[in-house]
Every structure is written in structure tokens, then in C-alpha cells.
A and B are shown apart, each in its own frame.
Chain A
Amino acid sequence: MDVRSQVSMVFHLDKCIGCHTCSVACKNVWTDREGTEYMWWNNVETKPGTGYPTKWEDQESYRGGWKTDGKKLSLRSTGKARIIPNIFHNTSMPSMDDYYEPWTYDFKELFNAPEGDDQPVAVPISKITGEQIDVEAGPNWDDDLGGSQIYARNDPNMEALTPNQRLQMMSIERLVFFYLPRICHHCLNPACVASCPSGALYKRGEDGIVLINQQVCRAWRACVAACPYKKTYYNWSTGKSEKCILCFPRLETGQAPACFHSCVGRIRYIGNVLYDADMLPEIANLPDDELVDAQRRMILDPFDEHVLEAARKNGIHEGIIESAQRSPVYAFVKEFGIALPPHIEYRTFPMLFYVPPLLPVMSSKENDVIDNDIDDLFADIEKARAPIQYFGSLFGGGNDGVVRYALRKQWAVRLVRRHLTVGDVTKETAERALAQADCTWEQADRIYRLTTLANMDERCIIPPFQREMAIEMMEDPHTHRSSVGFGFRNAPARGN
């Protein structure tokens, strides 16, 4: 058992209101520079939709992530033999057109436009060429202006649905959507790290954050092609690739990452989990629909004595173990089993988990009569507007069972709360629901509290990063002890 600690995340999609505050917070902190205009380390997508970059989930085109022959993993985008003939022309590289051409507006036009019949408008100006452009795409295009007939219909997850279900999702009364905020998943088996010819990417040993060393990066952009979530970006100005750093400078000083900190809907949870790195080779080649459970097996119980012993043997500090025991991520993923990894079939083992949205039936239309369905507000999840198969494709690696389990448990918690606070649900109904959902009254209460009441300190359990100790491995902190302090710039001496 090779126990390691990983800073890991949960996004509760039922709570996301799609306000993009996270994206803007991240943009203002990290990517407000030349060359990073199109980078959205955090972005919020509307689902069903094609996302950003357009249709990133379509790995037939983008060729991100890993594929397996049952025995061995190999990268879809490149390999030891393929990297040489393709090194000056990476054949899996998305172009700017698949992201968007960043633009700003010529606001002077509002004031300087000659008098005319129409109200002057701020003209969009390309940030690449400086010319006027016709804006065709943006980072949340399907949300803002896109049109479902183009973007929602082409959501790759729709392939898991029957033609009837697809039609239903598009019909106006059954129309369903939810938001999917995305950041780097800081995967356990990152394809970006594996693909880099320069070895510029690495996964930090103490917390598992995946970073690109800006000194070593040589602009091959293999990581851009290899990441199935398209969360590494190439900076054309510096000639280096960049990605979400999980605000490690903030984490190291005990603060939540900017997107977590600013989240209006309080959907974001962060905390470290302990996992067994030795298990990765054996589970990496399992069939797609077994991967969610396998990844959960990798995440270890931080109260188990064997685990703790192995963790201590691996040099994991008590403070980190203690924070793993309080981790909301462990609770959501392992205890409750309601948080699921996105597209685990890419086999990078993402460590960002999503609680799938319940999306209950609010109304339906039959024979031109709109039925508000109040009586059946919490009807069975099978009748929910978004088909289970859609979530199965997005969060289950094709396994609908894990999604059903997560949704049913959330549904049970709602019935319990309805019973306790409103009283229109009988105790028997609530208990039946709990039993069906493999849940207890206590767990239902914990889910309820962590979902709705948890404050910042409960949602974000930042492990002590021990940087003061980690730095001792690389340099002697006493090096400058006697050379700083009084008179550092202009040392006092007799006679002057």
C-alpha cells in the first residue's frame, strides 16, 4: 500500500446557478495577461451543450486521454513512436477556431461615431489582429447566444440516449439544462504529464496538484492535445503552456482557491483524501463501467488503522491525516457515494467530483394542457427530466447504476427534509425512500447539512501544506540567517 495525499474537489451541481463568478475570479487572479485571453482555467458550461473548447468530450476528434487494450494504457494523442514524426506538427492540436478568437470592444465608437440613423454600438475588435471581427464563438457560447439546436443537440453525451429521449430533451416543455463548472481535475493518472516530451509537467508529491514548470516547458503543446478535458492551454505570448494551478499559493497560506472562495452558490468543496497509488496499475485497464467503483476503492478510509500506519510510513504528516479525516470530499465521494468523476472512461482518474443535479419534473404538457405536477413533485428519479443515461455518459463512464444511486440518495434526503420541515411527506414514505437509497436518517442529515448549511470552514478543509518542512528538502533555511536583518542594505560600521 502506497498511501498518498491528494487535494481533491467536489462540485455540487444542484447548487450551481451558472453565474460565472468563479470564472471571472480566476480570470482576474491568473489569466488577465497577454497571451492568456482565451484561457479559462475555470469555465462554466451549459449542459447539454458542446462546452469549451467546442465539443471537448468528442475524443474521436480531440484524441485526449488514455485508451486501453485491456492490458496496457496508451495515450490517444501521441506515443513514443508517434512523437518523433509529429513533433513539429502535433496532429491532435485544436486550433484557435475551436476555442474562440478573443476580442474586446472599441468603446470609443460609442462617443465618436458620426451622427446617423442608428444608435452607435461598441464594435468588437479582435485581440489577435486588432481588426473588427464578427464574433462567432466564445467560452460560454452555448449558454449566451448559441442556440440549443446547434449546441445542445451536438453534445457528445447525447449519443448515450435513444432517438426518442433525444427528441424529448429538445422539446420545449421537457427542455432541461444545468451548469457544469470545470477546472483542472488534477488527475491521478494525468495524460498531460505523460505526454510532455520535455518533462515539464509534474504532479506534486505532497498534494497531487498538477503543474507545468514554466522554465522547462518547450512549447511542444503535447499536453494540450493529451488532456481529455482540454484544461491545459498554450500561451502564444510566452511560448509556454499554462493550466489551473489550484491556486496553490493560496492553498499554501491556508486560503481556498479563488474560484472556491468566490463561489456564490457555495457549490464547491475542497479537501484532501488519502489514496493507494499501488492500486492504479491494476484498475487502470478495467472496463469503463467499473472505473467509478474502482476509483472509489482507491480512496482510502482515513480512520482505518492500517491506512494510517501506511500513511505515516510514507511520511504523511499528522496534520494532513487529520485534515483528510475532516475532508468533505471524502464524505461526498466515499461515505455518501453521491459525487462522481466526469468522464472517467478517459482513464486519467480525475480528482474533481460532481454531485449530479436532480432536475425534478416541474411540469409536463399533455394534450395542450400544462400539468404542474405538484403532487408528484418528488416523483421517482426515473421520471426526472434529464435521462439517467445522459448522466451515465457524463459521470458514470457509461454506468447508469452509480448515477442512479447518487440521484436516489439525494431524492431520499429531500423527502426526509420535506417530511421534517413541511410535513406533507409521511414518515413511511421517507423511510421507504431512505431504504431504497441505501441511506440512514443520520447520513441523510449529514448530507443535508453539508449540502445546505456548510460554511466556508466546513466546505474548504485546506490541509496544512508543510511547505516550511518541504522546503528543507531542497534548501537549507538557515542559509541566509546571519546575512539578513539590521543593516541589510547598508551595514553600519565604525567611521561612517
Chain B
Amino acid sequence: MNTQASMHTQQAAHRVLVIALVATGFACAAPLTRTAAAQDADISEETVEYFRLNCTSCHTIGGGRLTGPDLKDVAERQSIEWLTTFIVDPKRVIDSGDADAQALFKEANGLYMPTLPGMTRQRAAALLELIAYESTKEESRFKGLQISDRPLTQHDIDRGQRLFEGTEAIASGAPSCLGCHTIDGTGGFGGGRLGPDLTDAFSRLEGRKALASWLAAPPGLTMQPVFKDRPIEGEEVLALVAYLKSRAEAGPPATKQGPLEFLIAGIAGVMGALVLFDLIWRRRFRAVRRPLVKGTTR
């Protein structure tokens, strides 16, 4: 995805999307040119990218809490100093018994915010700047996807399968996944071969949240035009996530056919057909002259 995005920016500098937006699929965010971003808040692209990769799976800006709290106007709730300290090493702050930190810890059901690799006070400051800048916006690009957190049921999996295979139409009229993708368990002929096999999509895309983000607004040159005007809605996304998750958890099937097996099966099939034809037409005319001459002169 990053490769795709960077190609994108290299190729068309003036209409490039901010790399993070493309990669995470926040298609609703306003496109920013490189120069505009720099003027607005002197925020480097590297920071944006860092935020996307490390923060958005637990936080939104103005999108409500996920695992962690909504970061909109976080600077109004805590001092910059406190925040910077917390970001650099959350576990130490929590364990030190800081009351605010303890409260947050509880809210997160006892999950420590991880200590992020390569995190420095400098970087934390840059991130806070980004958050502050994003908080001023009507709608942040990190608003996040609003889908339910409810547990996924068998009902969701079944519905997801129907949506995937197209036996239930997607409400917006978007095409079903099977048109372009295949997945284990779709039966004899498999699905489409245009897109990649989605069996391990769930694990590839770092889980439910990111996958849901992807599905809600699929990025990419191929999918984006198809789904831009006909997005998959929240409950449908959830069902598809459930289905993809169940497939990923099922793991690769024991009898997964590789290209070699297919080749062998193909050759065996052809040989079988030839033997069959040979039997059906076994009384066909065969050469007369050459066997006669060979048989007599031998």
C-alpha cells in the first residue's frame, strides 16, 4: 500500500493525496497538497504517517473512543508536559500512580497503552501539534470509522458470506466481493481472479478495525472508483469483517491446491481423455502401408 501511495505522489505531485489518507482509506478527508499541509501547521508528512501507523488503531480525533480515548482537544484536558511524558512511556506514568493516568487505564479496561518504538519527546511534541491542528478542524482526517464494537456473531458471519458471494445484495448497489476476489470455501470454481485471494485479509490488514476502515471506503486505483459512490454501510462492513475473520481463523485448508497440483491434475485429465477417446475409437483406421512393409521386412 505504501508503495502504491508513494508511486502516486511521485507521479502526480500536484494532485497527490496525503499519503496517510490513501493508505488508511479515509477517503472522505479533504485532499491536501504538500505545500498546503506545510503552510497550515508546519507538520511534516513523516509525523502524519507515524500517527496513522501507530495511533489510529486505538484513537480517533473527533471520532469518539476506540480502545483509547478520542484525542480531540486533548491539550485542553491535560498539560502538554503531562501528555508528552505519558506518550513517551505510558506504562511508567500509569504505574507511578498518577490519578489521571489511572482513570484512563480503567477506561481502557486495564490495557496499557504500548510504549511505541522510536518514540521521543520531540516526536511526541510533534504528534501533539498534529493533534492540536487536527482538533481545530470541523472534521479531522483521523475521525475514524464509526462502526459498532459489538461482538461478532455467527449471524454476522453468515450474512458476511452471503454479501461476499453476492447471494445478498449490498444495499448501496455495490458489486459483491466474489466478482473480483476469491476466498477459501467458495466452492468448486472459486471466485474472481482479478483481485487478491482474501482468505488472510483479516490478518494482513491488522484486524477488525483496519479491515473495517478498508471496507467502508476501499482505497486503491481499482476499488476506489467502484465503491466511491456506493459505499458498503456499517452493518454490512461488520458482517464482512466477521466473515473474513472467520475465514482467516479457519486457516489455510488442508487440501489447498497449488499450481503444481493443478498442472498434474490437468495432465492426468488430458491423458485420461486421450485414453478414453482411444478406447471409443479403437477400431479407427490406422496406417496400412508402413506396418505392412515394416512387418514383412523385419
Contact = CB atoms under 8 A, between A and B. Distances in A.
A89 B293 CA distance: 26
Contacts of B287: 95, 97-98
B119 to A, nearest CB: 74
Contact of A62 (B281, B285, B290, B296): B285
B296 A154 contact: yes
B150 interface: no
24 contacts: A50-B289, A50-B292, A53-B288, A53-B289, A54-B288, A54-B289, A54-B292, A55-B289, A55-B292, A62-B288, A89-B281, A91-B284, A92-B284, A92-B285, A93-B285, A94-B285, A94-B288, A97-B287, A98-B288, A98-B289, A136-B293, A150-B292, A153-B296, A154-B296
Nearest to B295: A154
Most buried by B among A91, A93, A137, A153: A91
Interface string A76-90: 000000000010010
Interface string A43-64: 0000000100111001001110
A154 B285 contact: no
Interface string A83-115: 000100101111101100000000000000000
Contacts of B96: none
B283 A91 contact: yes
Contacts of A149: 296
B191 to A, nearest CB: 35
Interface in B246-288: 281, 283-288
B79 interface: no
Contacts of A91: 281, 283-285
A97 B288 CA distance: 8
Nearest to B277: A89
Interface of A: 50, 53-55, 58, 61-63, 86, 89, 91-95, 97-98, 136-137, 149-150, 153-154, 225
A469 B284 CA distance: 47
B282 to A, nearest CB: 10
A232 B205 CA distance: 72
Contacts of A89: 281
Contacts of A225: 285
A150 B296 contact: yes
B3 interface: no
Category for how many chain B residues contact A: 10 to 19
A225 B283 CA distance: 14
Chain A interface mostly helix, strand, loop or mixed? Answer: loop
A233 to B, nearest CB: 16
Contacts of B39: none
B281 to A, nearest CB: 5
B122 interface: no
Instruction: Identify the 8 closest CB pairs spanning chains A and B, nearest first.
Output: A91-B284, A54-B289, A150-B296, A92-B285, A98-B289, A98-B288, A55-B288, A61-B288
Nearest to B290: A97
Contacts of B297: 150
Interface of B: 281, 283-290, 292-293, 296-297
A225 B287 CA distance: 14
A95 B292 CA distance: 14
Contacts of B288: 53-55, 58, 61-62, 94, 98
Contacts of A55: 288-289, 292
Contacts of A94: 285, 288
Contacts of A86: 281
Nearest to A225: B285
Nearest to A141: B289
A136 B294 CA distance: 12
A55 B297 CA distance: 16
Contacts of A53: 288-289
A137 B283 CA distance: 25
Given A55-B292, A97-B290, A150-B297, 5 more contacts: A53-B288, A55-B289, A61-B286, A94-B285, A97-B287
A220 to B, nearest CB: 15
Most buried by A among B284, B290, B293, B297: B293
B97 to A, nearest CB: 89
Contact of A61 (B285, B290, B293, B296): B285
A55 B285 CA distance: 13
A225 B292 CA distance: 20
Contacts of A137: 289
Contacts of A95: 287
Nearest to A153: B296
Nearest to A54: B289
B129 to A, nearest CB: 77
B281 A97 contact: no
Given A150-B296, A154-B296, A63 B290 contact: no
A95 B285 CA distance: 9
A55 to B, nearest CB: 5
Contact of B293 (A58, A62, A150): A150
Contacts of A150: 292-293, 296-297
Contacts of A92: 284-285
A154 B289 CA distance: 10
Contacts of A98: 287-289
Contacts of A136: 293
Nearest to B280: A85
A473 to B, nearest CB: 41
Most buried by A among B283, B285, B289, B293: B289
A120 B284 CA distance: 44
Nearest to B289: A54
Nearest to B286: A61
B163 to A, nearest CB: 46
Contacts of B283: 91
Nearest to B297: A150
B223 to A, nearest CB: 45
Contacts of A153: 296
A58 B290 CA distance: 15
Nearest to A146: B293
B134 to A, nearest CB: 71
Contacts of A154: 292, 296
B3 to A, nearest CB: 51
Nearest to A99: B289
Nearest to B294: A150
Contacts of B290: 97
Contacts of B292: 50, 54-55, 150, 154
A41 to B, nearest CB: 20
A98 B292 CA distance: 10
Nearest to B281: A91
Contacts of B293: 136, 150
Contacts of A62: 285, 288
A97 to B, nearest CB: 6
A63 B283 CA distance: 10
